[in-house]
């Protein structure tokens, strides 16, 4: 019996040796035999690239060729797959990705910003070149949600995608509640722990989570990724008082993404919301992520796991790499990018109850003016509470009956002409998920 020739290994060029990059190196090094059994071929790293060659890393990369320039790495003839872990929507990451595609390489990336902003063009370029561009690690860390949606639910008309997809925001909100601390305090803690992006607005402004939502929506609804159309609200204005009021009423506050296709178009919203305390979403601790995928046949599938970190994100990168090694070749968004429809962006129209917190100047008739403004906007009040206070400013909490975001924003604009509000109200939808 002759041994069949050993198939050629799949050769990776890894651009970016930070937390995720070193995690990928570690998996390739420690699980070489396991991965070869699973793929029917070996996976090797041939070359790496990073900002600083001299930096001390806790993995040994001395056996790989070094490139200072990630685009040069991408073009190397001994690289089959560019693993892009540099990050950032443009610059090095995008240049390297474009270079890889132009040179006929497959690309695996964890870069949500690049794909949310340039995914359509990159996917079209890859597909025109007969190459794949995959991004499991870009959404919800180690959770194989891109795979679940693109493949596992491929027989479904996707009806809705709901998720908590930014671990840092979830950490901040969870910690505020559990320790009773102010937003600013926990934000500083998170900063010290290295949980925040260099530009923290990416996290707390909901941008990072919005990128992820836009990517899942493109797959789920077969539309061009449209991050600009995501209605974004960050967690910066969520106070410990909001968290306490929500808890009193049986809710927790989560930065929640919701995407759904309606008769009017594609709704995409990422905003802090109140969710019932017994909902699986409400019970999500710390930096965990959760995504709910709803399809017409399957109903609701819930996926939960670590949303970030070296091991989990590297696990997702390797899932894409192993798919390629096994010969699985899928379009970036689950169908040819060139054929993706342009979705009509739609404002969220499904009515929900809303939580409103505002500060009134404590004078007779102030509350009545607010109530009147709400009535004028067609918003009816379920509960209203004015809290005890020592200064001339009265904190007021209102829970409305189900109403639309448009009506709430109309009311908010009327508030300003009442002259009794201090600052803008905080308005959070109450989502029954």
| Cα within 13 Å of Cα(102), Cβ side | 11
Helices (H), 145-255: 145-147, 167-179, 183-192, 201-204, 207-221, 240-248
CA angle 237, 241, 245 (to 5 degrees): 115
Binding mask 43-62 for a copy of itself (x = CB under 8 A): --------------------
- Say whether residue 220 binds a copy of itself (CB under 8 A): no
Selected range binding a copy of itself among 56-64, 118-126, 309-317, 419-427, rule: CB under 8 A: 309-317
Smallest separation, CB 396 to a copy of itself (Å): 34
Q: List the interface residues with a copy of itself, window 9-38 (CB under 8 A).
A: 23, 26-27, 31, 34-35, 37-38
* Among positions 304, 357, 369, 414, the unique one binding a copy of itself when judged by CB under 8 A: 304
Q: How far apart are CA 26 and CA 29, in angstroms?
A: 5
Stretch that binds a copy of itself, among 54-62, 159-167, 302-310, 413-421 (CB under 8 A): 302-310
C-beta of 131 vs 304, nearer to a copy of itself? 304
112 is known as an active-site residue: no
Question: For residue 238, what are its two tokens?
Answer: 């969520």
**CB nearer a copy of itself, residue 157 or residue 350:** 157
**CB closer to a copy of itself, 265 vs 280:** 280
Pairwise CA distance, residues 258 & 165, whole Å: 11
Q: Does 159 bind a copy of itself (CB under 8 A)?
A: no
In sequence order, the 6+-apart residues with CB closer than 8 A to the CB of 285 are 170, 174
**Annotated active-site residue in 105, 212, 254, 369:** 212
Q: Is 73 left (phi over 0), alpha (psi -120 to 50) or beta?
A: alpha
Give me the half-sphere count of Cα atoms (radius 13 Å) on the Cβ side of residue 360.
24
Name the residue among 411, 234, 318 with its Cα closest to residue 36: 318
Q: For a copy of itself, which is the closer residue by CB, 262 or 328? A: 328
Residue 134 found at the interface with a copy of itself (CB under 8 A) = no
Residue number, 170 or 352, with CB nearest to a copy of itself: 170
Interior angle at CA 261, CA 260 and CA 265, nearest 5: 125
How far is the C-alpha of 79 from the C-alpha of 70, rounded, in Å? 12
Q: Is 296 in the site for a copy of itself (CB under 8 A)?
A: yes
> Is 323 near a copy of itself (CB under 8 A)?
yes
257 binds a copy of itself, rule: CB under 8 A: no
Q: How far is the CB of 24 from a copy of itself (least distance, A)?
A: 8
CA triplet 230, 257, 337: central angle to 5 degrees?
Answer: 55
Question: How many residues can be counted in the chain?
Answer: 433
Q: Which stretch binds a copy of itself (CB under 8 A): 105-113, 198-206, 262-270, 276-284?
A: 276-284
Using the rule CB under 8 A, is 339 a contact of a copy of itself? yes
Nearest CA to 104 among 120, 73, 126, 124? 126
Catalytic residues: 212
Q: Contact residues for a copy of itself (CB under 8 A)?
A: 23, 26-27, 31, 34-35, 37-40, 136, 142-144, 147-148, 151-157, 222, 278, 280, 283, 295-306, 309, 311-312, 314-319, 321-323, 326-330, 334-336, 339
């Amino acid at each position: 019996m002759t041994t069949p020739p050993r198939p050629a290994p799949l050769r990776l060029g890894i651009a970016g040796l930070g937390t995720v990059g070193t995690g990928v190196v570690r998996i390739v090094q420690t699980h070489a035999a396991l991965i070869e059994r699973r793929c029917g071929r070996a996976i090797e790293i041939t070359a790496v690239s990073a900002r600083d060659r001299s930096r001390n890393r806790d993995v040994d990369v001395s056996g790989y060729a070094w490139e200072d320039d990630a685009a040069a790495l991408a073009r190397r003839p001994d690289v089959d797959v560019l693993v892009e872990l540099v990050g950032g929507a443009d610059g090095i990451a995008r240049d390297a990705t474009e270079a890889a595609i132009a040179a006929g390489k497959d690309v695996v990336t964890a870069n949500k910003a690049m794909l949310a902003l340039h995914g359509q063009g990159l996917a079209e370029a890859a597909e025109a070149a007969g190459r794949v561009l995959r991004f499991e690690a870009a959404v919800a860390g180690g959770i194989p949600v891109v795979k679940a949606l693109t493949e596992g639910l491929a027989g479904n008309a996707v009806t809705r995608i709901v998720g908590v997809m930014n671990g840092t925001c979830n950490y901040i909100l969870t910690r505020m509640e559990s320790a009773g601390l102010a937003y600013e305090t926990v934000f500083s803690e998170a900063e010290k722990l290295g949980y925040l992006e260099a530009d923290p607005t990416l996290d707390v402004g909901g941008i990072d989570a919005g990128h992820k939502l836009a990517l899942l929506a493109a797959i789920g609804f077969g539309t061009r990724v449209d991050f600009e159309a995501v209605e974004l609200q960050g967690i910066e204005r969520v106070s410990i008082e909001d968290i306490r009021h929500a808890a009193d009423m049986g809710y927790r506050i989560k930065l929640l993404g919701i995407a759904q296709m309606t008769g009017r178009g594609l709704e995409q919203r990422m905003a802090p919301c109140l969710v019932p305390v017994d909902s699986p979403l409400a019970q999500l601790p710390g930096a965990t992520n959760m995504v709910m995928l709803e399809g017409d046949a399957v109903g609701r599938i819930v996926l939960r796991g670590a949303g970030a970190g070296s091991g989990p994100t590297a696990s997702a990168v390797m899932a894409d790499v192993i798919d390629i090694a096994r010969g699985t070749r899928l379009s970036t968004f689950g169908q040819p990018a060139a054929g993706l429809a342009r979705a009509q962006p739609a404002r969220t129209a499904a009515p929900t109850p809303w939580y409103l917190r505002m500060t009134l100047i404590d004078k007779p008739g102030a509350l009545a003016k607010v109530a009147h403004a709400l009535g004028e906007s067609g918003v009816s009040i379920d509960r209203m509470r004015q809290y005890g206070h020592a200064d001339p400013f009265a904190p007021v909490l209102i829970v409305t009956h189900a109403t639309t975001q448009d009506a709430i924003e109309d009311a908010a604009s009327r508030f300003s002409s009442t002259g009794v509000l201090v600052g803008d109200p905080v308005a959070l939808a109450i989502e029954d998920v």
